[in-house]
Amino acid sequence: MGNILFVLVLILGYLESNKPTAGEFGEDVIPLTPDLVQRAQGPLYFGEAAAHSELAEMLPNAIYVVSDRTVRARFEFVDQKMSEVSELTVFDKYGRPWINADLDEGKMIYSRYTGEYQSDVPVSLLDDDGDGIPDVMVDWNSKTSFVPLQEFSWTPMVTDVPSGSE
């Protein structure tokens, strides 16, 4: 019995001495970039489409960010290596596509819904040149497209400046 305990203590000592050290970031944290570290646990989770599902066939190179069982973002990659993001979709609080960015072409689509239970997009704004200003508005109900008449202009707001913020 003494020999078994001695061997067990040796094995545990060996395993403990070969355990990787946590370093400056802590045990559950992995450095991602010089300024970012991985969160050990949090409200966001990453997922992918189930194997052989319709979603996996449509978007085979996509990773999803999920919170409270609702998809919050989708990252589509160029290939299965998943080293280069080609498209990003951000979803609203109801899990509906809200902003879609084609990173290869620099195009963005902003979808606007009128109610929380509406699943069809009534209006989309398209930014074809990636400058952040919509170039086309599409009304999907009337199937009509609109272009802006002039450049966006700004006018000062007529409000009092809060004290202490000068």
152's CB contacts (< 8 A; 6+ apart) are 133
Q: Where are the domains of the chain?
A: 40-146
Measured between alpha carbons, how far is 31 from 23 in angstroms, rounded to an integer?
10
Give per-residue pLDDT as tens, 53-106.
Answer: 999 999 999 999 998 888 999 999 999 888 899 999 999 988 999 999 999 998
Residue 148 has pLDDT above 70, yes or no: yes
Q: What pLDDT is stored for residue 74 in this prediction?
A: 94
Q: What pLDDT is stored for residue 134 in this prediction?
A: 86
Is-contact 110 124, C-beta < 8 A? yes
The arrangement of strands across the sheet holding 85-91 comes to: 45-47, 62-67, 70-77, 85-91, 97-102, 107-112, 123-127, 136-139, 144-146
Q: What pLDDT is stored for residue 99 in this prediction?
A: 93
Question: What is the 3-state composition of the chain as percent helix, strand, coil, each rounded to the nearest 5?
Answer: 15, 30, 55
Higher pLDDT, 124 or 13: 124
pTM of whole model > 0.85?
A: no
Among the residue ranges 34-38, 90-94, 136-140, the one predicted with the least confidence is: 34-38
Measured between alpha carbons, how far is 54 from 75 in angstroms, rounded to an integer?
17
Measured between alpha carbons, how far is 102 from 58 in angstroms, rounded to an integer?
17
Is-contact 62 83, C-beta < 8 A? no
Measured between alpha carbons, how far is 164 from 71 in angstroms, rounded to an integer?
41
